[in-house]
Amino acid sequence: MTRARAMLYIALNVLCFSASADPVHLQLRWHHQFQFAGYYAALEKGYYKEAGLDVIIHEGTSEKKPVQEVLQGHAQYGEANSELLLERLRGAPLVALAAIYQHSPSVLIARKEAGISSPDDLSGKKIMLMDQAVDADFVAMFNNEGIDISRLHIIPSSYEISDLVNGKVDAFNSYLSNEPYFLKQQGIEFTILNPRNYGVDFYSDILFTTEDELKYHPERVKAFRQASLEGWYYAMDHPQEIIDLLLNKYKIDKSRKHLEFEADAIRSLIIPDVIDLGHMNPWRWRHMAETFIKAGMVGDDKLLQGFSYDPDPKVDQEKLLNYIKIAVIIMLITGVITLVLLASYRSLKQKNKIACRNEKLLHLAHETAGLGYYIIDLVSGQWESSSLLDKIFGIDLHFERNIPSWETLIHPEHRQRVLNHYQEIIRSHERFLMEYEIIRPNDTETRWVIGHGYIEFDKAGNPSKLVGTIQDITERKQTEETIIRLNKSLEEKVHRQTNELIASNLSLMRKVEELDRSRHQLIEREAKLNSIFNASVEGIITINLSNIIVSANAAVETIFGYQPEELINRNISKLMPLSTRTMKDYNFPDAVKPVSQIQEIEGLHKNGSVVPLDLSTAEYAIDNEQFFTHIVRDISLRKHQEQKESKHLMELAHVTRLGLMGEMASGIAHEVNQPLSAISSYTQVSLNLINAELPDLVKLAEILRKTQNQALRAGRIIHRMREFVKSHAQKRSTADVNELIHDSVGLCLAEIKQNDIKLIFDLNNNLPLVHVDHIQIEQVLINLIRNSVDALKSSPEKQQRQLTISSRMVIDNDIQVRVKDNGTGIDKDQQQKVLTPFYTTKADGMGMGLSITRSLVEAHEGTLHFNSQPGKGTTFYFTLPIQEKSDRPQ
């Protein structure tokens, strides 16, 4: 509706409301500011009064929200954002009267240093919002971007931009017309996340009322709406006057520059030069409703019907007919009076009036549609254009209007294509439609436009004029670019399924595919985990804090003899009696043990036997409920192997003792000889006493007693030696020397690794077998390896420690085994003594190791040698005869 029609309507309704004494209350969204300029203008310029309305304007607060105030009857009218539609779809009896802002000013502002350039960057950040209903456009933006709002750290808005400045939050809900001014004044760099750039373009600052108000006071609703829109038209045409009003009467605490900034920003959102104030598109309301449905904020749009107010219902035809009759009679009377005197003048004026009216209507249509028009004279090359086209192209009245200058307005990348298209339509005589970019001379900004038009031809068929329209479609192109970017993001997320998506159902299909893919991934992941869970050779048993088993894998049947389902809801003590005591320690956070800590326990098999186990336990929580997972391994085989190795080491120890006794035999022979010598002497004395004429029986008894003591002493010495070596006679069999080497190294491997020694094998293959006592030869190898390890311990830290063991055939068909190290070596004065009994270079040594080693080698008809260079290392080597050579009775 035009302003003239609106003023006429207000004038016609003055009589209806002039006598009304009831005040009308309007609830604003926030404190007084330029954001509500139209309502102040309607009040101060008398538009409400002329409509017969006594209007009281209430500013809003964080507690006084327009939707609630109007629904509770505290005000008949209010001004709200997209939450108005959301509440309507949820059942509130609300009616939208006029959309003042065609685009929402609601944005999220973040400090540039926070690194937030897209909604994806908000994850883990502190975001200040009012609530999900009031900030519905942000919720829709998050949904469009596939962001789970529950994973965002949202803080209720304090309405103070200082919280963003001071770093209390990372992103702040703001208006384009307000908060950016504060940040620019303080020199703070910031970034803006505008829902419009992510497919969410909502109406804002919507004038609304209730269904009851419309039902019982329809004329008042219409009058209030029209007076309010007139106020907005005035405010847009006189922003400085409204700013003076706000500063002087309403005493707001903003500066004039701030209010001017706000006025400019609001004008770009209202766009009164292009779209009628209060215009509402039903399709756009439906699109907003669909956005809420996709975001899961409402279930359907069944209540959308009747939400948008129609200001022009059908007029009563009978009254209209009476008005027409009266008008016709008046026109006939007036025509008769003036027909004679002004016939020719009236005819000319009427034609001019019709032409002027048609021109205004055409201009209005173009302005409403955002179309600028132009006419190019193809003969002269000159062209003329509308003011809206000049605004779109960024030119003024002084711009030279000829075809070459027109070409300069077209972006170079599109210029030739556009000119070729013009040539083509001249040849084809068809209408044209094309999109291209332009460069505005006034600000060098590039804009996208769409051109419609046709060519007029003269009577000779030659092109004479090019008539066309230009519409700025930059926002549409930006939306398309946003869609392309979203498509690309979608391709990255859903990979191979992208080709199945189409533009018409992009948003819906993306969600369907994502959910389907997630479901399949969940099923696959669950299947893989179950496969791993049941394929594990270890038993995996999960219990709760009450020691009740909640799950078990298939391996428990092998270990304990129970089927997994037999154990569910049974106490863990059925399998591991000690676990109850053990788990008590895990109830405290400081005692929680990870899986890597293993302890040995005994479990109970279903048949009652005891099973040795390795047990490790992990603690975790699901939905605030604590669980413990036992991982158990049956170590029966390992225990058996350990016992076998222990027996083997005992045999090696016995060989050591046996060798030690052999070497010590010569050292302790004098102990046996001494009592034997004493016995011999005492016996001789006794014989002498017996042979005497008068034997001294007392002395004889004393001598015999001493003889007995010495005999007992010798017996004890011999007994001890027999006990030390009994039941371990030498047992020889055929053996592979290389296998003996590997077995011996295995028993010393821990010491080799602990001392960071590089082990090198140089073993000849296919060596003949030897006939030896396995235990004794392993003892020889272990003694030599440990001597080398001891020698390498004292090597410098930077030196690479090496131990080389080799085997080969030598002269006389003997097999030679060499143990070589690069340690400190043996001093020359010590080299003569190292193989002698009871000589040692170690602080705690007995000096018998190498002596025993030599004895064991020689007992096998071999020889032991060594060579050593101080500072360079030592090599011990011994020989063993092959089986043929040693194949004789032992």
> For residue 140, what are the contacts with CB-CB under 8 A and spacing of at least 6?
195, 200, 202, 291, 292, 294, 295, 297
Does residue 14 carry a pLDDT above 50? no
Most confident among 269-283, 318-332, 691-705 (mean pLDDT):
269-283
Q: Which of 126-140, 475-489, 834-848 has the lowest mean pLDDT?
A: 834-848
Give the mean pLDDT of 96-121: 92
Predicted pLDDT of residue 12: 39
Rg (CA), the chain: 53
Tell me how far apart the alpha carbons of residues 719 and 714 are, in angstroms, rounded to a whole number. Answer: 9
Backbone angles phi, psi at 820, to 5 degrees: -120, 135
Dig out the tokens for 677 from the structure. Answer: 């010598």
pLDDT higher for 419 or 339? 419
Predicted pLDDT of residue 790: 86
Place of tokens 């001597």: 787
Give the mean pLDDT of 732-756: 88
CA-based torsion, 416, 422, 423, 428: positive or negative: positive
Tell me how far apart the alpha carbons of residues 141 and 295 are, in angstroms, rounded to a whole number. Answer: 9
Dig out the tokens for 570 from the structure. Answer: 């049974």
Give the mean pLDDT of 581-593: 43
Three-state DSSP at 588 gives coil
Q: By the 8 A CB rule, do 371 and 344 touch?
A: no
CA-based torsion, 239, 244, 249, 255: positive or negative: positive
3-state secondary structure 204-270: EEEEEEEHHHHHHCHHHHHHHHHHHHHHHHHHHHCHHHHHHHHHHCCCCCCCHHHHHHHHHHHHHHH
Predicted pLDDT of residue 182: 87
Predicted pLDDT of residue 332: 62
CA angle 153, 157, 161 (to 5 degrees): 105
Predicted pLDDT of residue 96: 97
Q: How confident is the model at residue 77 (pLDDT cuts 50, 70, 90)?
A: very high
Backbone angles phi, psi at 74, to 5 degrees: -75, -20
Most confident among 356-370, 561-575, 676-690 (mean pLDDT):
561-575
Predicted pLDDT of residue 321: 52
Q: By the 8 A CB rule, do 140 and 203 touch?
A: no
Q: Do the bridges between strand 539-544 and strand 463-472 make them parallel or antiparallel, or are there none, so unpaired?
A: unpaired
- Count CB-CB contacts under 10 A for residue 53: 25
Tell me how far apart the alpha carbons of residues 601 and 598 are, in angstroms, rounded to a whole number. Answer: 10
H/E element holding 856? Answer: helix 849-859
Place of tokens 């604590």: 626
Does residue 667 carry a pLDDT above 50? no
- Residues above pLDDT 70, as percent of the chain: 81
Beta bridge partners of 627: 544, 620
Q: By the 8 A CB rule, do 812 and 842 touch?
A: no
Q: Which of 6-15, 54-63, 394-403, 482-491 has the lowest mean pLDDT?
A: 6-15
Tell me how far apart the alpha carbons of residues 814 and 772 are, in angstroms, rounded to a whole number. Answer: 13
Q: How confident is the model at residue 222 (pLDDT cuts 50, 70, 90)?
A: very high
Alpha-carbon distances of 188 from 167, 612, 806, 843, rounded to whole Å: 12, 69, 76, 75
Dig out the tokens for 694 from the structure. Answer: 């008068």
Tell me how far apart the alpha carbons of residues 707 and 768 are, in angstroms, rounded to a whole number. Answer: 57
Give the mean pLDDT of 445-449: 92
Nearest by Cα to 297 from 572, 79, 78, 82: 82
Find the farthest-apart pair of alpha carbons in the chain and give their distance in angstroms, rounded. Answer: 205
Tell me how far apart the alpha carbons of residues 95 and 1 are, in angstroms, rounded to a whole number. Answer: 19
pLDDT higher for 657 or 43? 43
The amino acid sitting at 85 is L
Q: How confident is the model at residue 1 (pLDDT cuts 50, 70, 90)?
A: very low
The amino acid sitting at 498 is T
How would DSSP label each residue in 343-397? HHHHHHHHHHHHHHHHHHHHHHHHHHHTEEEEEEETTT-BEEE-HHHHHHHT--T
Alpha-carbon distances of 503 from 125, 415, 470, rounded to whole Å: 32, 29, 26
Dig out the tokens for 469 from the structure. Answer: 């329209």
Predicted pLDDT of residue 6: 44
Dig out the tokens for 623 from the structure. Answer: 């939905």
Dig out the tokens for 555 from the structure. Answer: 């391996």
CA-based torsion, 159, 165, 167, 173: positive or negative: positive
Predicted pLDDT of residue 262: 94
Residues in the chain: 890
Does residue 535 carry a pLDDT above 80? no
Distance of CA 687 to the CA centre of its chain: 107
H/E element holding 658? Answer: helix 636-691
pLDDT higher for 212 or 428? 212
Q: How confident is the model at residue 33 (pLDDT cuts 50, 70, 90)?
A: very high
Give the mean pLDDT of 634-649: 74
Tell me how far apart the alpha carbons of residues 539 and 542 are, in angstroms, rounded to a whole number. Answer: 10
Dig out the tokens for 244 from the structure. Answer: 């003076």
Beta bridge partners of 770: 735, 882
> For residue 688, what are the contacts with CB-CB under 8 A and spacing of at least 6?
none
pLDDT higher for 596 or 77? 77
CA-based torsion, 795, 797, 799, 800: positive or negative: positive
Q: How confident is the model at residue 357 (pLDDT cuts 50, 70, 90)?
A: low
The DSSP letter of residue 203 is -
Tell me how far apart the alpha carbons of residues 199 and 144 are, in angstroms, rounded to a whole number. Answer: 7
pLDDT higher for 597 or 164? 164
Average pLDDT, the chain: 81
Does residue 593 carry a pLDDT above 50? no
- Count CB-CB contacts under 10 A for residue 751: 14
H/E element holding 827? Answer: none
Predicted pLDDT of residue 717: 60
Give the mean pLDDT of 262-278: 92
Tell me how far apart the alpha carbons of residues 12 and 31 are, in angstroms, rounded to a whole number. Answer: 34
Alpha-carbon distances of 803 from 289, 333, 685, rounded to whole Å: 81, 132, 63
Alpha helices of 382-505 — where are they, by DSSP H? 387-393, 403-409, 412-428, 474-494
Q: What share of the chain is helix, strand, coil (3-state, %, to 5)?
A: 50, 20, 30
Model confidence over 750-762: pLDDT tens digits? 789 888 899 999 9
Predicted pLDDT of residue 110: 93
Model confidence over 284-310: pLDDT tens digits? 999 999 989 988 889 999 999 999 998
Dig out the tokens for 378 from the structure. Answer: 């193809």
Predicted pLDDT of residue 793: 84
Model confidence over 449-497: pLDDT tens digits? 998 888 888 877 788 888 888 988 998 888 778 878 877 888 788 777 7
Alpha-carbon distances of 687 from 451, 676, 709, 767, rounded to whole Å: 150, 16, 18, 65
Q: How confident is the model at residue 19 (pLDDT cuts 50, 70, 90)?
A: very low
End-to-end CA distance of the chain, in Å?
A: 128
Q: How confident is the model at residue 430 (pLDDT cuts 50, 70, 90)?
A: confident
H/E element holding 87? Answer: helix 83-89
Most confident among 154-158, 342-346, 410-414 (mean pLDDT):
410-414
Does residue 545 carry a pLDDT above 60? yes
